Amino acid sequence: MADGGSSTMILLVTSLLISGLASVVLLESWGDVAEATGKNNRGKVADAETDVSFSGDRGNVLLDTSGSNQEITLYFQNTGIRSLDKSSFTIFVDGVSSTVVGAATLYPASGVWATDHVLEVTVSDASFAYSDNDLATVTIVVQSTVVDGVKGTDSESAEVRLSV
């Protein structure tokens, strides 16, 4: 009987140790899941707070046909809560990723594309072959600056009338 009692005690202690280790592993895994969920939620909030809109007259967008490649001047306003990254955006004209000509100009010239600030951008591509009063679909994709380790993204598309 003494042997049965000690082996039962050894099994009990071993079971408790294994259960304790399993609890540690489960709690650590739960912590990783909670952390990932928190980061995912912060990303959703960042996306909700990031917003860009067209600014200016979409029915009278400047088209410059004087150079070897046509240039289109566009205006975009930060209508979100977060500041936008003025060096991290892409503009598509009729589905073609366009090259920014020169430097983008920020109004007011604060250096930060903050809420209600407007960015003037001139884009060009060798494939542009537009005429006066042509319609083009313009899309911009923007990112916010990093806050709490996450960036928000937004895009806006609109049809514009080009004017020489």
In this predicted model, what pLDDT tens digit does every residue of 5-53 receive, in sequence order?
777 877 888 888 888 777 777 777 777 776 766 677 888 999 999 999 9
Q: What is the mean pLDDT of residues 121-128?
A: 95
Phi-psi region of 113 (alpha: psi -120 to 50; beta: other; left: phi over 0): beta
Question: Collapsing DSSP states into helix, strand and coil, what is residue 14?
Answer: helix
Q: What is the pLDDT of residues 73-115, one digit of tens each?
A: 999 999 999 999 999 999 999 999 999 998 899 999 988 999 9
Domains of the chain (ranges; CATH) run: 50-163 (2.60.40)
Q: Exposure pattern of 45-61 as b/e (b: 16+ CB <10 Å)?
A: bbbeebbbebbbeeeeb
The answer to whether residues 37 and 16 touch, using CB atoms and an 8 Å cutoff, is no
The answer to whether residues 101 and 64 touch, using CB atoms and an 8 Å cutoff, is no
Question: 141 vs 9, which has greater pLDDT?
Answer: 141
The model's confidence at residue 4, banded by pLDDT at 50, 70 and 90, is low
Q: Which residue in this structure is represented by tokens 């995912």?
A: 40
The model's confidence at residue 146, banded by pLDDT at 50, 70 and 90, is very high
Chain CA centroid to CA 157, Å = 15
Cα separation, 35 vs 29, whole angstroms: 10
Phi-psi region of 84 (alpha: psi -120 to 50; beta: other; left: phi over 0): beta
Terminal Cα distance for the chain, rounded: 103
pTM to 2 decimal places: 0.77
Pairing assessment for the beta strands 71-78 and 118-124 based on DSSP bridges: antiparallel
∠ at Cα 112 (109, 118), nearest 5°?
60
Strand partners for 158 = 138
